Amino acid sequence: MEQRKKNIAILGCTGSIGLQTLEIIDQYPDQINVEILTANQNKDLLIQQAIKYKPNVVVIGKEEYYTEVNDSLFSYDIKVYAGEASIAQVVEMDSVDIIMNALVGYSGFLPTISAVKKGKLIALANKESLVVGGALIKQLVKEYRSHIIPVDSEHSAIFQCLAGEAHNNIEKIYLTASGGPFRGMDHNSLANVSKEEALKHPNWNMGPKITIDSATLMNKGFEVIEARWLFGLKGDQIEVIIHPQSIIHSIVQFEDGSMKAQMNLPNMKGPIAYALFYPERIKTDLPRLNFLDYPKLTFEIPDLKNFRNLALAYEALESGGNIPCALNAANEIAVDAFLSNRVGFLEMSDIIEKCIHEITFIHQPSLEDLVRTDEEARGRTTKYIRN
Ligand code: MN
């Protein structure tokens, strides 16, 4: 019997993960149908993609572009909506089988919640969803029988290593990190790095927000929190190890001491394809790893003194409640300020630390509590930057 095509909603279709998702779909057009495309502000590319893939629905985040997008797609029988709230609504459509959440930052959180509450299958590239509300999402996933498949390369690696291991306990996991462009730099040098230098990542080609997060190691901190919720671990079972070659994407250590690692050349299409077709592995034409090109795979301990964001993320995980939500909000404001030359590289950590210490603590935050915490943290952080 022929299987029905899976209908996908791609949230963030004009970003790096969105584009790579469409490139994979291009190779398997009989298996996946593009049902919904959403973009925040890149209206021209969204229009081009809509004309090519003929989705049922498109959403443009920025409402002022609605008329232009709608007019451009007038003759194509495509429904056009605008605004962030519409993104969270369209994922609830019955016609959607799988959602690729490739939104950036907090904007991915409410769409994840909506999708989970409809029991959908979610390919999650938006790690901030689990940073902001991991406990709540985990509880809702259970209640509504939703499924989350990680797209983050480290978590995809762990997920792949856990195939067939459902009844075996994890002793610990090692999340690998490239260390970013400033690995090995001392405090004084870090104080003076520019945004241009921070935007040059040695191994991965990504959007600006995650590239800065990789340079500060906040990205790895978020991944520790993400792993805590995806795999049901405690903070002390999650270790970060610097691995500059980015060949081993992460490692699981089981109770018998045995370790499984997943390796490949760094390319996000691997994790994206794994999530879209799970549990099957599809044939891809991605470049194959030649061991002889990497005669040395090296490992180092992360420098938590100079890259304090990683230590702050462990602290936020330990504090629990709404603190990781505040951590994320403060980080978004700090990264924005760094990208507009209003704060230095190291000041980002000072601002974030002050915010997570001063935010009103809520032990078991509801959805409304998390929305309010995000607002409060943004307000506080913005004030610290002005003063
Ligand atoms: Mn990652």
Count other C-beta atoms under 10 Å from residue 224's C-beta: 22
Report CA dihedral (204, 210, 213, 219) to the nearest 10 degrees. Answer: -80
Q: Provide the b/e sequence for 314-335 (b: ≥16 CB within 10 Å).
A: bbbbebbbbbbbbbbbbbbbbb
pLDDT at 217: 97
Instruction: Calculate mean pLDDT across residues 220-238.
Output: 98
Cα–Cα nearest to 234, from 300, 178, 312, 169: 169
Cα–Cα nearest to 254, from 113, 158, 152: 158
Instruction: Calculate mean pLDDT across residues 249-257.
Output: 98
Say whether domain 6-150 belongs to CATH 3.40.50.720: yes
Instruction: Calculate mean pLDDT across residues 105-131.
Output: 98
Give one word for 343, left, alpha or beta, with left for phi > 0 and alpha for psi -120 to 50.
beta
Chain centroid to CA 319: how far? Answer: 22
The fraction of the chain above a pLDDT of 70, given in percent, is 99
Interval 162-196: pLDDT, tens:
999 999 999 999 999 999 999 999 999 999 999 99
pLDDT at 27: 95
- Distance (angstroms) between ligand 1 centre and the Cα of 268 equals 9
Helix (H) or strand (E) holding 252: strand 248-254
Contacts of 53 (CB under 8 A, 6+ apart): 22, 25, 34, 37
Tokens coding 337 = 């300020």
- What is the DSSP secondary-structure string of 9-25? EEETTTSHHHHHHHHHH
pLDDT at 200: 87
Contacts of 218 (CB under 8 A, 6+ apart): 309, 310, 312, 313, 331, 352
- Distance (angstroms) between ligand 1 centre and the Cα of 41 equals 24
Return mean pLDDT, the chain: 96
pLDDT at 2: 56
Chain centroid to CA 46: how far? Answer: 21
* Distance separating alpha carbons of residues 96 and 90, to the nearest angstrom: 9
Cα–Cα nearest to 102, from 158, 61, 48, 163: 61
Instruction: Calculate mean pLDDT across residues 275-283.
Output: 96
Task: Give the pLDDT band of residue 386 (cuts 50, 70, 90).
Answer: confident
Model confidence at 202: pLDDT above 80: no
Task: Give the pLDDT band of residue 4 (cuts 50, 70, 90).
Answer: confident
- Distance (angstroms) between ligand 1 centre and the Cα of 88 equals 24
Tokens coding 53 = 């893939």
* Distance separating alpha carbons of residues 28 and 193, to the nearest angstrom: 43
> Domain map of the chain by residue range?
6-150, 153-318, 320-387
- Distance (angstroms) between ligand 1 centre and the Cα of 265 equals 14
- Distance (angstroms) between ligand 1 centre and the Cα of 59 equals 27
DSSP 236: G
Tokens coding 366 = 């509801």
- Distance (angstroms) between ligand 1 centre and the Cα of 290 equals 22
The fraction of the chain above a pLDDT of 90, given in percent, is 96
Helix (H) or strand (E) holding 172: strand 170-177
- Distance (angstroms) between ligand 1 centre and the Cα of 177 equals 8
The domain defined by 320-387 folds into: Rna Polymerase Sigma Factor; Chain: A (1.10.1740)
What is each CA distance from 232 to 134, 253, 361, in whole angstroms? 10, 14, 23
- Distance (angstroms) between ligand 1 centre and the Cα of 234 equals 19
Handedness of CA 375, 378, 384, 387 (dihedral sign): negative
- Distance (angstroms) between ligand 1 centre and the Cα of 152 equals 5
Cα–Cα nearest to 108, from 209, 183, 26, 182: 209
* Distance separating alpha carbons of residues 338 and 346, to the nearest angstrom: 10
- What is the DSSP secondary-structure string of 70-104? HHHTGGGT-EEEESHHHHHHHTT-TT--EEEE---
- Distance (angstroms) between ligand 1 centre and the Cα of 213 equals 10
- Distance (angstroms) between ligand 1 centre and the Cα of 56 equals 31
- Distance (angstroms) between ligand 1 centre and the Cα of 301 equals 17
* Distance separating alpha carbons of residues 99 and 328, to the nearest angstrom: 23
Tokens coding 57 = 């629905």
Instruction: Calculate mean pLDDT across residues 362-368.
Output: 98
Interval 204-219: pLDDT, tens:
777 889 999 999 999 9
- Distance (angstroms) between ligand 1 centre and the Cα of 140 equals 24
Interval 258-270: pLDDT, tens:
999 999 999 999 9
CB 11 within 8 A of CB 91: yes
- Distance (angstroms) between ligand 1 centre and the Cα of 324 equals 18
- Distance (angstroms) between ligand 1 centre and the Cα of 6 equals 26
Interval 366-384: pLDDT, tens:
999 999 999 999 999 999 9
Interval 23-38: pLDDT, tens:
999 999 999 999 999 9
